[in-house]
Structure 1
Amino acid sequence: MHTTELQGVAPIGALLREWRAARRLSQLDLALDAGVSARHLSFVETGKARPSRELVEKLADTLAMPLRERNVLLVAAGYAPKYPETALATPMMAQVRRAIDSILAQQEPYPAFLVNRHWDVLAANAAAGRVANFLLDGRQSPHANMLHNIFDPTDLRSRIVNWEEIAGDLMRHLHSDVAATPSDAVARGLLDQILTYPGVPQHWRNRDPAIAPTPLLLTHFRHRGRDLRFFSTITTFGTPRDVTLEELRIECCFPEDEATAAFCRELVEREHREAVAV
């Protein structure tokens, strides 16, 4: 099954100009990097020439476009999309689901999440539920999106001691996502939504390309006198040839200290005792 977000795409010239701007490349820069004449590229961008399929793929490689966006570029040029988008629930993805389930399970008793390109939480292990249940006093989170979890004052935000540090870093990631995929209207909409939350500093509304997201960040929660500190690692699928696989990532949380690790083990023991009591 091919990606479905392909109707009503912009002309290829407009898309190339948008991507050049996102990558900060002039028309000449792109032509040189792709090994084509600047004149021919100019004709492609103005609609005077139709690029070959091979040229479209070469330009996409040069612009380091995600698979979803490569499909869009191909369709804009009049060609069929190249990369499938296979739903995770389909039988052909069974092996992938087993791998994901295994990673999530092995992370116990510490939280782990499966997240898509828009930070929607698609799956989580039991530890994630236990920690969230503690932090939210048994309430169900109103969101299934990690950014909304962090920015909404009624959600996990009120439990994060270093919220401004965490939120600022996530905002840099979101700005980078929007800049990296300029045709992604959903990412732009998510950015607009996040900026409406109270307490978001004015300067977070503009991307600062000089400041990169932090490679490793510690999240410090505090609730009922408990301090929980986690750092996270991200796992992605290497050299994916499917849109769905490229956009998935697994976030695994590790305890920063023994107190956090001990509390996670305590939550498991408490759950077992309650199950036996029932």
Structure 2
Amino acid sequence: MAHLTLATAEQTEAPVGTLIREWRTQRKISQMELALDIDISPRHLSFVETGRSRPSAELLMSIASQLDVPLRARNTWLLAAGYAPRYSEQGLDTARMAQAKAAVQRLLDTHDPYPGVALDRHWNVVLHNSAAAKLMSLLPPELLTPEINIFRASLHPQGFAAFTKNFAEWGSYLLQVLQRLMLSARDEAIIALVEEVHAYPNVIALKQQTPVTQATEPSLLIPCIMELHGHELSLFTTLTTFGSPRDITLHELCVELFYPADTQTEVFLKAMGA
């Protein structure tokens, strides 16, 4: 039986119109633009946002789709308007998720000897391949529990940042990704994570640095350049998500695959895998 995600009292105490207005404002879309996009009058949308009109569940889902609201928040909207949530949240280890989990693990294992991980909505590692396990073994114990978080592991001064030669560039990229995640997810745990990493001394120093002007032609991608065991590794990354998910866990799951950015890195990773 599907387990439907229930929002907390704090999440649902706000009227649905207020929630819509907050998301619309965050997306920087006017009432007029949104009304035209979903084919209703601006007056009707105004009434919905101010609570003078109760929207149908279909209208809520139309607005949510146009604003690209995450499935978790859509359930919150439905509950706030007095409707039942529509999207399940299956645990990754449940029987119904077995096929999807196996597909992700197969993708990660096929990617060996290059590192690959599957991440939840907070960018905690939930699945990984052998190459990623070898890299994560370099982390100190305090960054391994209760779970490995990519932002914490990569930005903490005792984590991968200690091995990252281009931390100014790579760290700035990660901070931008984390900022976008906070704005799109509106999640308290992400907000707490942002506050935590911005208190790291190396991140404080990074934010105080003057941006360096690129003297040569910039590379196509920002690599993560690490020095491990006397070898310099250069890696770029891709992010993959499920198409058309109707479950919150699958909607929030992403796969991050690292690839060698040069021949030297490719040779080293293949040798390490062997």
Q: TM-score, normalised by structure 1?
A: 0.86
Show structure 1 runs of 5+ residues with no match. Answer: 206-213, 270-278
| Alignment correspondent of 1:193 | 196
Query: 5 Å matches for 1:149-168?
Result: 149-168=153-172
Correspondence 1:109 to 2:113: yes
Q: Supply the distance in 2 between the matched residues of 1:204 and 1:58 (Cα, whole angstroms).
A: 40
Aligned-partner Cα distance in 1 for 2:135–2:159: 13
Structure 2 counterpart of 1:275: none
Quote the Cα distance in structure 1 between the aligned partners of 2:119 and 2:35.
Answer: 36
Deviations 1:103-135 (A, max 9, x none): 1110111110011121111121111122343x5
In structure 2, relative to structure 1, the CA distance for the partners of 1:203 and 1:259 (3 Å cut) is closer
Q: Secondary structure at the match of 1:177?
A: helix
Matched with 1:245 is 250
Q: Deviations over 1:181-226 (max 9, x none)?
A: 33x2222222111211113258969xxxxxxxx9943110013421
CA RMSD of aligned residues (A): 2.1
Identity of aligned residues (%): 38
Q: 1:142 corresponds to which letter in structure 2? A: L
The 5 Å alignment of 1:253-272 reads: 253-269=258-274
Counterpart CA distance in 2 for 1:215 and 1:53 is 44
CA drift of 1:22 comes to: 0.9
SS in 2 for 1:234: strand
| Residue 4 of structure 1, CA deviation | 3.2
Residue of structure 1 equivalent to 2:5: 3
State the alpha-carbon separation in 2 of the partners of residues 43 and 203 from structure 1: 46
Give the match's secondary structure for 1:166: helix
Aligned match of 1:226 in 228, 231, 241?
A: 231
Q: Which secondary structure state, in structure 1, belongs to the residue aligned with residue 72 of structure 2? A: helix
C-alpha deviation, 1:140, in angstroms = 4.2
The one-letter code of the counterpart of 2:271 is E
How far off its partner does 1:48 sit?
1.6
The structural deviation recorded for 1:178 is 1.8
Tell me the equivalent position of 2:214. Answer: none
Q: Distance in 1 between matches of 2:240 and 2:185?
A: 20
Instruction: Tell me, yes or no, if the aligned pair for 1:141 and 1:155 is still in contact at 8 Å.
Output: no
Q: Distance in 1 between matches of 2:220 and 2:85?
A: 33
Q: 1:27, CA displacement in angstroms?
A: 2.0
Runs of 4+ in 1 over 6 A off after TM superposition: none
Task: Pick closer, same or farther for the CA change 1:94–1:265 going to 2, 3 Å.
Answer: same
Q: Deviations over 1:215-243 (max 9, x none)?
A: 94311001342101111111211111111
- Tell me the equivalent position of 1:209: none
CA contact (8 A) 1:104 1:112 kept: yes
> Residue type matched to 2:262 in 1?
D
1:236 maps to what in 2? 241
Identify unmatched segments of 5+ residues in structure 2.
209-218
Q: CA shift at 1:70, angstroms?
A: 1.1
The amino acid across from 1:2 in the alignment is L
Which of 171, 175, 183 pairs up with 1:171? 175
For residues 77 and 202 of structure 1, the distance between their equivalents in structure 2, rounded to whole angstroms, comes to 46
Q: Structure 2 length normalisation: TM-score?
A: 0.87
How many residue pairs match? The answer is 257
Is the counterpart of residue 42 in structure 1 residue 59 in structure 2? no
- Aligned residue runs from structure 1 range 67-82, under 5 A: 67-82=71-86
